[in-house]
Amino acid sequence: MAGAEGFVEADNAEAIMIRIEHKTRKIESLLKQYKPVEALRTALEGTHAMTRDERCKSAHWIVVHRALMAIKDVDGMLSSLDSEYYDILMKYLYKGLSTGDRPTCEQCLRIHEKLTERAGFGCILRQKLAFQGTALPMYCKRDGLFPQHMQRSYFSM
């Protein structure tokens, strides 16, 4: 997972919004150069930052959504994307699937199938079936499903 070795505790929502704006400009320029995979990678970076601000979460989603919809070759994209991005990508795929918007759902379903083949069921379980409560259940700590350094970042969505 990108930045898993040191997730950033970001209290300043404004700083995150400014970063997202810079990212949006960079993504638009990459898409104009027909580099959708780089655009998606840029969009997924930094989204692990811990924030409870809904505006930041929405802004992250909008940026990732823009990059996701530009992907035409899913197999090529997954081959080029590092495996550390798989968990974050799965998180955003489920967010896209919950929107109900037909084109978004179709694209997310296409990517979800291929990503599951590559990353396995653990990716689904870690990312979207993360926990509502503030304490991880004992059985997950014991089974090592959530390694210590990743635990806090799973609450950001």
Partner 1 sequence: MASTLRLYLTCIRNTLEAAMCLQNFPCQEVERHNKPEVELKTSPELLLNPVLICRNEAEKCLIETSINSLRISLKVKQADELENILTKKFLRFLSMRAEAFQVLRRKPVQGYDISFLITNYHCEEMQKHKLIDFIVQFMEDIDKEISELKMSANTRGRLVATEFLKQFI
Query: Applying CB under 8 A, which residues contact partner 1?
Result: 94, 97-102, 105-106, 109-110, 112-113, 116, 121-122, 124-125, 128-133, 135-137, 139
Closer of 42 and 127 to partner 1 (Cβ):
127
Q: For residues 39 and 92, which CB has a smaller minimum distance to partner 1 in the complex?
A: 92
Q: Is the dihedral of CA 100, 128, 7, 152 positive or negative?
A: positive
The dihedral formed by the CA atoms of 137, 128, 53 and 30, expressed in degrees to the nearest 10: 140
Rounded to an integer, what distance in angstroms lies between the CA atom of residue 54 and that of residue 137? 26
**Least CB distance from residue 141 to partner 1, whole Å?**
11
Closest to partner 1 by CB, 124 vs 150, is: 124
Tokens encoding 144: 């090592």
CA angle in degrees (0–180, nearest 5) for 109-115-121: 100
DSSP symbols for 20-50: HHHHHHHHHHHHHTT-HHHHHHHHHTTTTSB
Among residues 24 and 116, whose Cβ is nearest to partner 1? Answer: 116
Q: How far is the CB of 97 from partner 1 (least distance, A)?
A: 5
Query: Min. distance of Cβ 108 from partner 1 in angstroms?
Result: 8
Residue 134 CB, nearest approach to partner 1 (Å): 8
